[in-house]
Structures are given as C-alpha cells and as structure tokens.
A = this chain, B = another copy of it.
Amino acid sequence: MTDESRPPRATAARLSLYLRCLEGWLRAGQQSASSHDLAQALLLGDAQVRKDLAYLGGLGRRGVGYKTATLIAAIHKALGIDREWPVVVLGAGNLARALLRYRGFKDRGFRIVGLFDSDPHLIGQKVDGQEVFPASELRRRVAETKAEFGVIAVPSESAQEVADTLVKAGIRGILNFAPALLRLPKGLAVVNVDLTIQLEQLAFQVLAGAE
C-alpha cells in the first residue's frame, strides 16, 4: 500500500466495522458481499462505503460485488493485522487476566510476549501460562522480543509512570485501560479504552432517550 492510498483515520474506523460485518457473514456462509449490503447493515450511505472500499484497491466487479474472503483479507492488510504484533502487558491483575484469555487478541495477531507487575507477590508466578516479570526487566524483554505494543492495565495512579517506562523501552503503540490522560511524545500511537467514559456516555444516552 502506498502513502497515497493509505486511508484516513475515520475510514480506518469504518473498515473495522465492515470487517466485523463481513466476518459474521462469512461464518454464516455468505461468500460474496456488496458495498450496498455493508451500507444497509451499518446505516451508512452507499457512496461512503464505496469510497472507503476504494482504498483497498479495485477488488469489486460492478454488479457482482466482492468475494467476502478477499475483502476481509484486504481490510486485514489495510489495518495492519495481516501480521503478528508482539505485545507486552503491564499490570497482571484481573483486567490483564481477562485480556490474556481474550480470543480477539490472538485472532488479530497480537501475541503477548511479556507480562509485568510491581507486586512482589505476583512476580515469578504464572498467569495463564505467562510468567510475571518485574518492571525492571521490561526494557531488556522489549528489545529481545521486538515488542511493538504495550498494554497499560495498572491503576490510574501508576499509569503515567508505566507509560514513561514503555516509551523509554521503545514501544510504538499503547493501549491504555487506565482512566488517566497520558502525556506521551508526539507520534506515538495510543488508543484509550476508558471504561469510565463509556459508562458516562451510556448513562447520558439513557437519560437523553428518556426525555
């Protein structure tokens, strides 16, 4: 994929939604799909979907649509999940345990290569087959495993410190579960999964709907 054809971020977000639809359809035995099918399923405009899919190259044939599997593979490539990403996880509590057992992690090529905690009771223990290391080992392990992503699964008080350690270790992207706004260098990829915000927005939606 060349620079020119790399989709903008809003398109990338919709590609994730198309992928979710297409995978469901493929599991249900649907071998082909059109941009119109996707537009209908996701309540988007046909033109919008066609424009988004154009970033994937000329995969469809007019009047026939796309092979579901081909479209899925093209979206995987565009999003960068057609390869393996070594990941380190900081914090070995319940959230980390849930993530370690989360199928989607592996399905998307995210392979956990290190689990870290500062609790001396946890260090050396195994959590779902992963040994817990002290944070002091992070830098060495990131270098050894060529880990590119870090997951922050620690309480919010420790989140910035952990983020700084990840940055120093050379991590390129952070998935942050702590409800904290992190100060990070420009250019570092970060996705915040702040459950508190999701809860707030849910409460707001219920209130708004009730009026």
User: Least Cβ distance of A190 to chain B in Å?
Assistant: 8
Q: Which residues of A (195-211) have their CB < 8 Å from a CB of B? A: 195-211
If the complex has contacts A6-B208, A196-B104, A211-B6, are A203 and B21 also in contact, measured as CB distance less than 8 A? no
As a 0/1 sequence over residues 87 to 129 of chain A, the CB contacts with chain B under 8 angstroms (1 = contact) are: 0000001110111011111011110000000000000000000
- A173 and B79 form a contact (CB under 8 A): no
Q: Is the interface of A mostly helix, strand, loop or mixed?
A: helix
User: Least Cβ distance of A52 to chain B in Å?
Assistant: 13
If the complex has contacts A94-B94, A179-B104, are A81 and B203 also in contact, measured as CB distance less than 8 A? yes
Report the interface size class on chain A. Answer: 35 or more
Chain A interface (Cβ < 8 Å from any Cβ of B): 3, 6, 9, 12-13, 15-17, 19-21, 24, 41, 78-81, 85, 93-95, 97-99, 101-105, 107-110, 148-149, 155, 172-175, 179-181, 187-191, 193-211
